[in-house]
Amino acid sequence: MNVDKLVVKNFHRDDPSHVTILWWLFFAAFLLGLWALYTLLPADKVQPEVLYTLGVIGLWRYGWKSIHLMRGLYYQYVRYPALSSLADMTQKPSEILLVIPCYRTTPEISAPVFKALIDEIGNFGVACRAVACVTDEADLNIIESQFNKLQQRVPVSLYIIDQDGSGKRNTMADALTLLAEERPVSKDSILILMDGDTVLPEGILTKVSGFLMRYHDLGALTTHNKPIVKGNSLTRQWYRQRMAQRHFYMSSLSLTYRVLVLTGRFSAYRASLALSPDFIDSLRYDHVKHWRYGRIRMLTGDDKSTWFFVLKEQWKMLYLPDVSVTCLEDAPSGSFVKTSMSLMTRWYGNMLRSNIRAIQLGPRKAGWFLWFCLLDQRISMWTTLIGPSLALVVATYMGTKVVIAYLFWVIATRSANVLLISIQSGQFHPIFVPLLWYEQLVGSLVKVYLFFHPNIQRWTRQGIDGKTEDNSISQRIKRWLPHLQTTAAFSALLIFVMWLYG
């Protein structure tokens, strides 16, 4: 299937041309309005300490992003082509194993997903064992009809597991256990973990098997994601901007054979690794230890658990920048703010819980560059808040013109940021600039809150969360203490900003 021509009802890759033009006009009108307001207000002299502070933070942040850009470009155009040329694309594994969780996906999603999957397996021509984890009868009918067609081309075994609503982890672990217990796997077998809303492009199995068959110290790899979104224009462009950022950072990290996540949309593993009892247990029973909450069971973030296991066992990981799966993103209902907040709470909660233990591995085990990136994740959620806090503090003394000047600073710096990312990803949209600032600012607030509330977990579709109904005194103290810590942290940030202003 040519995924570039894929059309799914109510799902869109990008805005129509007239909508993009309207966004450009809105952006230009906003800039002109800001400039007119700035010239009308009386001028005040800003203390040099404020400019020095913003300049130092900006120099560090954009210096770090420039390093990522150089590394990513080198990987994308020098290192990766060399690795790809050495990979043997003609050598095939003895078997492909497949696990596909499908949670309440509609037929309009399931039909193109499984058609593309079956076409790809049939063209690849290798025996396949697949486990589909389903919830709806409609999904089951589509899956069985497609796999019946596949049986005429290659040996295939299909197993169906009902999802019981307890979460994706248990179902995936059950699927892996089934494959491991049915019969031993060959050393060259490959296992694919993918979501039931991911459409595979032609030739992806040839590509991933070529790398895994050639590089025997490679434990897992993942690919670029291209979203097709069911939602409004803001939500659609937000997804695109996020995937462009992901491509930017994953290319840089892959230069040292590390990545930040083995995304659940599509990742390929060495089957002997992914079917090991330790791997399966790490998926089913994964947890982190916290000084206040004790043992926190990981409900969401299965892709972070698989990533951490591969990282801990010191297998290499790789990102394939020229292979793109298409993700049919059915965004949660509601306004853009509600949708984005819900998703950021899940994503950043997973990130922070895994970040703590990954840092504890140390730079030798995690790799020096990845370890510094993990530290940067912890620091950047605070530095992002210094700019707007400083602008508000200064504005209380010097007037609203400071806020307008800060908005010009935001537009200039985020435009530079978007430009850096677009150089590598080839994607740009005028709304990327405010969306990037929105995600950085609101995302930092979400991260800081979740840093003190690491127990908060919620699936956006399943409605599963990690809340407890225990109302004992000790539990009530545990619930109130993080709120006090959050308040103290933001108070300390405000005091620090006021000290900077003098």
Structure tokens at 144: 């069985």
What would the DSSP string read from start to end of 413-467? HHHHHHHHHHHHH----TTHHHHHHHHHHHHHHHHHHHHH-TT--B-TTT--B--
What 3-state DSSP class applies to 330? strand
163 has a pLDDT exceeding 90: no
Sequence-ordered list of residues with C-beta below 8 angstroms from that of 389, at least 6 positions apart, any chain:
493, 494, 497
> What is the mean pLDDT of the segment spanning 9-23?
83
Using a pLDDT cut of 90, give the percent of the chain over it: 46
Q: Looking at the predicted structure, is the pLDDT value of residue 56 above 70?
A: no
Report the half-sphere exposure of 445 (CA within 13 A, side-chain side): 9
Contact 117, 124 (CB under 8 A): no
What are the two backbone dihedrals, phi and then psi, of residue 261, each rounded to the nearest 5 degrees?
-165, 145
Of 263 and 290, the structure prediction assigns the larger pLDDT to 263
Query: b or e along 341-380 (b: 16 or more beta carbons within 10 Å of the residue's beta carbon)?
Result: bbbbbbbbbbbbbbbebbbebeeeebbebbbebbeebeeb
Burial class (CB in 10 A: 0-12, 13-18, 19+), 460: middle
Stretch 376-398: mean pLDDT? 83
CA 407 from chain centre, in angstroms, equals 28
Find out whether 296 and 217 touch, Cβ atoms under 8 Å: no
Query: Does residue 106 surpass a pLDDT of 60?
Result: yes
CB atoms within 10 A of CB 222: 29
- Between CA 62 and CA 413 the distance in angstroms is 9
Coil, strand or helix at 223? strand
With 50 as the cut, is the pLDDT of residue 112 above it? yes
Confidence of residue 477 (pLDDT cuts 50, 70, 90): low
pLDDT at 460: 60
30-42 average pLDDT score: 79
- Model-level pTM? 0.89
pLDDT for the residue 166: 67
Q: What is the CA radius of gyration of the chain?
A: 24
Distance between CA atoms of 157 and 178, rounded to whole angstroms? 12
Residue 463 scores a pLDDT above 60: no
Return the higher-pLDDT residue of 85 and 39: 85
Q: Could you give phi then psi for residue 262, rounded to 5 degrees?
A: -100, 85
Give CA–CA dist 406/438, Å, rounded: 14
Enter the tokens of residue 398: 């010097």
pLDDT above 70 as % of the chain: 90
Residue 105 pLDDT > 90: no
pLDDT at residue 469, rounded to an integer? 46
- Kindly give, in sequence order, each residue whose CB lies less than 8 Å from that of residue 66, ignoring residues fewer than 6 positions away: 420
Reported as a pLDDT band with limits 50, 70 and 90, residue 5 is: confident
Distance separating alpha carbons of residues 412 and 391, to the nearest angstrom? 16
Q: What is the dihedral of CA 468, 470, 475, 479, to 10 degrees?
A: 40
Region 390-402: mean pLDDT is 77
Q: Please state, in angstroms and rounded to a whole number, the distance separating the CA atoms of residues 393 and 374.
A: 30
Which tokens belong to 285? 């029973």
Q: Which of the residue ranges 127-141, 144-158, 255-269, 452-466 has the most confident prediction, judged by mean pLDDT? A: 255-269
**Could you report how far apart the first and last alpha carbons of the chain are, in Å?**
62
pLDDT score at 466: 55
Query: Could you give the residue ranges of the DSSP H alpha helices within 255-290?
Result: 271-274, 277-284
3-class SS of residue 102: coil
Does the pLDDT at position 470 exceed 50? no
Average confidence score pLDDT of the chain: 86
Answer positive or negative: Cα dihedral of 243, 376, 264, 97: positive
Model confidence at 182: pLDDT above 80: yes
Residue 24: pLDDT over 90? no
Is the pLDDT at 139 greater than 80? The verdict is no
In this prediction, residue 51 carries a pLDDT of: 58
pLDDT confidence tier of residue 66, bands split at 50, 70 and 90: confident
Residue 296 has pLDDT above 80, yes or no: yes
How many whole angstroms separate alpha carbon 124 and alpha carbon 456? 42
pLDDT level of residue 468 (50, 70, 90 thresholds): very low
State the DSSP code for 315.
-
Q: How many CA atoms lie within 13 A of 295 on its CB side?
A: 4
pLDDT confidence tier of residue 50, bands split at 50, 70 and 90? low
Output phi, psi for 375, to 5 deg: -65, -40
